[in-house]
Amino acid sequence: MNQRVNIYGFPHKGLRNALGKLSFNLGKLDVSSEEQIQEIKLLSNEVSELLKLHLHSEEKHVLVPLKEKDPKIADHNHEDHLKMERLEDQMMFSIHQLIDSPDIGIAIKSYQETNLFIREYFRHMDEEENEINEIIWSHFSDEEILEWQGKILSELTPDQFFSWFKYIIPALHPLEQSIMLGGFKQNAPDEVYQGTIHGLKPFITEQQFEYISNI
């Protein structure tokens, strides 16, 4: 059986990685540490940006063509996106409260709100990767799906692109790293590619860095 193009695969791995880090860091947070509070601020803002980028790219480049083929499933996915936005807002509101007024009670609340979001968001991603992918594959060719992917990537700024990479690349197995970075290497100037590889070093293992340095 041929492996179909999975529009959700790489970004969802990155989001699982990023959200796991956010939950982990909130769970062990020392509220008396200004350094840790600032780390939470930077991480939560970056996670929120990636969530919004991903949602908007799906709405624009996946759900628009899907609605022409299957309006019911496209509308269902859109409504689920609205639910995810509301839960993300709750999560970020509690984290902003924590950043503004570090307190153990607020930290516990932020941790709970984050894990509530993760529970629902992981369910949402699983549905997209399975039920919705099956519908996409029944209506669209791999070439059409890759065209969506190209449009999504073309709208990212360099900083947004690297933010995705630093969460996605560590979460991929070697074959996936070769696919993602191989495509990037073909299309990016060599100095940009090499700069990206070296920029990833703090976010991956030594073994991973050795591997991607030789792609």
Residue 114 lies in a domain: yes
> Is the pTM for the entire model greater than 0.75?
yes
Residue 166 lies in a domain: no
Confidence (pLDDT) at 211: 97
Q: What confidence tens digit (pLDDT) does each residue in 76-88 have?
A: 999 999 999 999 9
**Same-domain check for residues 126 and 176:** no
The shares of helix, strand and coil residues in the chain, as percent rounded to the nearest 5, are: 85, 0, 15
Low-confidence ranges of the chain (pLDDT < 50): none
**Same-domain check for residues 152 and 178:** no
Query: Cα 46–51–54 angle (5° rounding)?
Result: 125
Could you tell me the residue range of the domain that residue 189 belongs to?
172-215
Using CA atoms, how far apart are residues 145 and 149, in angstroms rounded to an integer? 6
Q: What confidence tens digit (pLDDT) does each residue in 13-35 have?
A: 999 999 999 999 999 999 999 99
